[in-house]
Amino acid sequence: MSANNPEHGATHEVSLPPEVTLLQEVTPPFFPEGGSGMTILVEWPPDHPGLPPHRHSGPSFGYVMEGALRFELEGEPERVVEAGGTFWEPGGDVIHYQDGNALSDAPTKFVVTMVCAPGQPMLTLVDEEELKERAHLRAPRPSEG
């Protein structure tokens, strides 16, 4: 589910001119028939916590333009994606726990392209009850060692 992870990397050879750099190539688990796509620009000020835990109806692909993004998906350890790095998530049932600014002294800016399942919202917040029910699926927090 992570970017820059060889097991989710190139699925075929791509011939690109030298002026073009391939940043990320992944195979999403599904692409909803009749789905739509959107690309958003997110600009978090220093220390911004990001959105509360949520999920997306389809896969999402992102690129950090500036700063550092604290990124955490259900089942994966929290990590920081720095400027120039990419990330992705499969969408569907997977909870996206964190997408906040990892920096206390500078803004973070990133672009995300999302595939939206037909008739579903692009983003749905996860309530406390579901977070408790699925707590066993979350990777240990850094403070939990």
Phi and psi for 129 in degrees, rounded to 5? Answer: -60, -45
Averaged over 126-144, what is the pLDDT?
90
Q: Where are the domains of the chain?
A: 46-121
Q: b or e along 75-109 (b: 16 or more beta carbons within 10 Å of the residue's beta carbon)? A: ebebbebeeebbbbbbbeebbbbbbbbbbeeeebb
- Kindly indicate the confidence band of residue 5, based on its pLDDT and cuts at 50, 70 and 90: very low
The pLDDT assigned to 143 comes to: 66
For domain 46-121, the CATH superfamily is: Jelly Rolls (2.60.120.10)
pTM summary value: 0.80
Q: Which of 23, 42, 40, 44 has its CA nearest to residue 102?
A: 44
pLDDT of 139 > 90? The answer is yes
The pLDDT assigned to 14 comes to: 61
Which residue did the predictor score with more confidence, 32 or 81?
Answer: 81
Burial group, residue 136, by CB count within 10 angstroms (0-12, 13-18, 19+): exposed
Burial group, residue 18, by CB count within 10 angstroms (0-12, 13-18, 19+): exposed
| Residue 137 to residue 21: CA distance in whole angstroms | 35
Answer positive or negative: Cα dihedral of 82, 84, 85, 86: positive
93's tokens:
């049932």
